[in-house]
């Protein structure tokens, strides 16, 4: 084998502010990303720990293929016990930190403990000379863009960063973890589950990763690996490229399917779909600049739109379908330009746009503010950064503001806000929300097939969950849609030994088992594998007839391994 798999890991003790390097365990050799995060949490974190206490473990794990020449393979998983759900959570992000960590030979960063003084901030430096904890008070309270600008004054332009904004520092349950893209912008977020709050509880403001001019990681079977990656890229680029203009391009279709929720999910369609469509963003490129780009080195999907303001200045990237839905239609906000402002504010403050959009919509629905009040929504995001009482309630997520307002309609599963893809027309996706250990998370297993027969709901959800867990562990982006068989082929040529499709499928399944086991230890029961009453009693679509009416028995079936192996191996990530 040539370089093969990197063989080091970083352990950080924030109680003593020390960092060390040790060999990466052989037993984890084929694990990366989400599967590695779940395994570490099972072995090293008490499921009953306080999410913001010293006992929680924060994991930063690049995928196995990160840092290689495999296309669109540089994703990183951030994991820990979620302060939002009280269960296990993995949030996946693009950008360059995952690639750079792997180029330096580091498979994972494991962060434990917390400083005695909660007001202190620290940074972790990772480069060719080693790893070290450094003072971070100079960056305290800075918004993400300002923090990265200041970091680049100290670190080389070759560096990439993992940071948190004020929401993470305040340990708000909706806080995200930001990763810098190719341009050094903190626009790629491991957003869901409040893991930014976990990072904040550790006193860790940033991780600076500088791989310098190190080359990509070398596979064991070089010629075949490079040839396969080249052919794979050509085949992808010759195909339909469904994300060519970004995920925002699905707005119109989602609206037709009644999964473009409006006004806190009281309707499945928005009357403002024309002014929220991704096509409006694409049209702006001709006069304002911007365009499509790749969020990380080596990406061939290039689904990220770069949005400029009317003066041609950079505003945000990427303005995704989920954000247009949850901060736009779900809040009754009609203009994609207002949503772009809100997206930039969320990235700056360090917030999940899905959770924040759901929380603002609940506040509006409960009479706290008029639906469609874009200026008011922007003001709330500034309040979150300032730490006002209202700001904290919304920054802590949908359940938090719902309880504060004593509101009945709180569309969450296991404490996490339901994303744009609605479980009423997409019932197999609803089963994913119910059974995933992470709660309502479309990236855990999305099935966009409203005509799917009921007898196929459970198996479709299970197969998609396995495929997506495998993809999130490999480092490939789900939008590349690699099959389990293709992932196995990349692994085989990279490590120089036969890695079968069965092994990859089993890895995905074991990841789910580890996550369910963690939640069992945290106190979750079968009763938690359900959707809220508003999804079962309130319908969308014609005559409001579409409701989530799947039985508990069908939901439970998704957690029993029965997938058709041959069908599973052909299944692509995202369903």
Residues 183 and 272 in one domain: no
Residues 446 and 403 in one domain: no
> What distance in Å separates the CA atoms of residue 7 and residue 250, rounded to the nearest whole number?
41
- The contacts of residue 143 (CB under 8 Å, 6+ apart) are 165, 166, 348, 349, 350, 385
Boundary (domain end) residue, out of 169, 194, 210: 210
560, 549, 567, 569: which is closest to 462 by C-alpha? 560
Grouping H, G, I as helix, E, B as strand and the rest as coil, residue 358 is helix
Grouping H, G, I as helix, E, B as strand and the rest as coil, residue 20 is strand
- The confidence score (pLDDT) of residue 564 equals 62
Boundary (domain end) residue, out of 375, 391, 417: 417
Grouping H, G, I as helix, E, B as strand and the rest as coil, residue 338 is helix
Residues 459 and 399 in one domain: no
Residues 133 and 205 in one domain: yes
| Structural domain boundaries, residue 480 | 427-570
Q: Which residues pair with 60 in a beta bridge?
A: 78, 109
Residue listed under structure tokens 């993995």 = 90
E-state strands within 339-480: 412-413, 416-417
Residue 149 lies in a domain: yes
Residues 147 and 286 in one domain: no
Residue 79 lies in a domain: yes
Q: Which stretches of the chain score pLDDT less than 70? A: 1-6, 562-571, 574-575
- The confidence score (pLDDT) of residue 33 equals 98
**474's tokens:** 């490999």
Domain count, the chain: 3
Indicate the pairing of strand 122-127 with strand 130-135: antiparallel
End-to-end CA distance of the chain: 34
**157's tokens:** 């332009």
**169's tokens:** 């520092």
> What distance in Å separates the CA atoms of residue 441 and residue 388, rounded to the nearest whole number?
28
Task: Please count the residues of the chain.
Answer: 575
Q: How many CA atoms lie within 13 A of 113 on its CB side?
A: 13
495: domain CATH number is: 1.10.599.10
> What distance in Å separates the CA atoms of residue 490 and residue 495, rounded to the nearest whole number?
9
Boundary (domain end) residue, out of 393, 417, 441: 417
**238's tokens:** 């010759």
> What distance in Å separates the CA atoms of residue 366 and residue 405, rounded to the nearest whole number?
7
Residue 231 lies in a domain: no
Indicate the pairing of strand 130-135 with strand 76-81: unpaired
80 phi and psi, to 5 degrees?
165, 180
Assess contact for 52 and 156: CB atoms under 8 A. no
- The confidence score (pLDDT) of residue 6 equals 59
- The confidence score (pLDDT) of residue 561 equals 87
Span 45-92, pLDDT tens digits: 999 999 999 999 999 999 999 999 999 999 999 999 999 999 999 999
Residues 450 and 378 in one domain: no
- Segment 142-148 long-range contacts (CB within 8 Å, at least 24 positions apart): 143/348, 143/349, 143/350, 143/385, 144/178, 144/186, 144/347, 144/348, 144/349, 144/350, 145/185, 145/186, 145/347, 145/348, 147/186, 147/205, 147/206, 148/180, 148/184, 148/185, 148/186
Residue 575 lies in a domain: no
Grouping H, G, I as helix, E, B as strand and the rest as coil, residue 116 is coil
Residues 283 and 352 in one domain: yes
> What distance in Å separates the CA atoms of residue 225 and residue 287, rounded to the nearest whole number?
42
Residues 440 and 377 in one domain: no
Residues 311 and 385 in one domain: yes
Residues 341 and 457 in one domain: no
Span 215-253, pLDDT tens digits: 999 999 999 999 999 999 999 999 887 778 889 999 999
Q: DSSP assignment, residue 328?
A: I
| CA R_g for the chain | 22
394: domain CATH number is: 1.10.569.10
Residues 156 and 283 in one domain: no
CA distances from 510 to 39, 50, 232, 524 (A): 9, 25, 28, 19
State the alpha helices, DSSP H only, in 210-277: 222-238, 251-256, 273-276
**520's tokens:** 């069992």
Residue 380 lies in a domain: yes
């Amino acid at each position: 084998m040539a370089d093969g798999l990197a063989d080091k890991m970083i352990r950080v003790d924030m109680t003593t502010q020390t960092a060390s390097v040790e060999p990466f365990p052989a037993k984890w050799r084929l694990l990366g990303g989400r599967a590695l995060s779940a395994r570490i949490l099972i072995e090293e974190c008490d499921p009953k720990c306080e999410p913001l206490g010293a006992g929680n473990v924060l994991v930063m794990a690049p995928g196995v293929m990160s840092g290689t020449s495999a296309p669109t393979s540089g994703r990183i998983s951030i994991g820990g016990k979620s302060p939002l759900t009280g269960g296990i959570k993995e949030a996946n992000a693009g950008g360059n930190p995952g690639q750079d960590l792997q180029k330096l030979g580091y498979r994972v960063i494991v962060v434990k403990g917390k400083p005695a003084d909660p007001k202190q901030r620290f940074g972790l430096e990772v480069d060719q000379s080693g790893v070290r904890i450094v003072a971070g008070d100079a960056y305290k309270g800075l918004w993400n863009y300002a923090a990265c600008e200041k970091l680049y004054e100290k670190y080389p332009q070759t560096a990439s960063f993992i940071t948190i904004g004020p929401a993470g520092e305040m340990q708000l349950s909706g806080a995200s973890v930001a990763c810098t893209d190719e341009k050094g912008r903190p626009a790629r977020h491991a957003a869901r589950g409040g893991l930014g709050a976990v990072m904040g509880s550790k006193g860790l403001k940033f991780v600076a990763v500088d791989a310098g001019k190190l080359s990509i990681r070398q596979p064991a079977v070089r010629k075949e690996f490079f040839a396969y990656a080249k052919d794979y890229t050509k085949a992808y680029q010759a195909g339909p490229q469904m994300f060519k203009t970004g995920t925002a391009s699905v707005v119109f279709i989602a609206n037709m399917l009644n999964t473009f929720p409006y006004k806190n999910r009281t309707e499945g369609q928005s009357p403002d779909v024309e002014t929220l469509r991704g096509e409006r963003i694409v049209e702006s490129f001709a006069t304002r600049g911007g365009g499509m780009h790749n969020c990380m080195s080596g990406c061939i999907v290039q689904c990220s739109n770069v949005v400029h303001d009317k003066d041609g200045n950079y505003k945000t990237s990427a303005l995704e379908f989920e954000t247009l839905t949850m901060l736009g239609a779900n809040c009754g906000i009609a203009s994609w330009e207002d949503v772009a402002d809100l997206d930039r504010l969320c990235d700056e403050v360090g917030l999940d746009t899905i959770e924040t959009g759901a929380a603002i919509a609940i506040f509006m629905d409960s009479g706290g503010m008029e639906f469609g009040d874009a200026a008011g929504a922007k003001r709330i995001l500034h309040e979150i950064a300032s730490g006002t009482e209202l700001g904290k309630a919304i920054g802590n997520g949908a359940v938090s503001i719902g309880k504060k307002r004593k509101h009945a309609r709180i569309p969450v599963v296991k404490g996490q806000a339901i994303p744009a893809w609605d479980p009423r027309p997409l019932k197999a996706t609803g089963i994913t929300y119910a059974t995933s250990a992470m709660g309502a998370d479309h990236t855990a297993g999305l099935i966009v097939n409203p005509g799917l027969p009921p007898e196929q709901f459970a198996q479709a959800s299970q197969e998609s969950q396995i495929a997506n867990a495998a993809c999130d562990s490999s480092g490939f982006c789900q939008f590349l849609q690699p099959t389990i068989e293709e992932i196995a082929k990349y692994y085989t040529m990279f490590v120089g030994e036969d890695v079968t499709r069965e092994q990859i499928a089993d890895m995905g399944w074991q990841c789910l088992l580890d996550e369910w086991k963690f939640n069992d230890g945290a106190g979750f029961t079968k009763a938690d594998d359900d959707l809220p009453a508003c999804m079962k009693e309130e319908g969308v679509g014609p005559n409001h007839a579409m409701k989530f009416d799947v039985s508990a028995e069908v939901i439970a079936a998704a957690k029993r391994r029965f997938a058709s192996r041959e069908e599973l191996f052909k299944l692509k990530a995202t369903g």
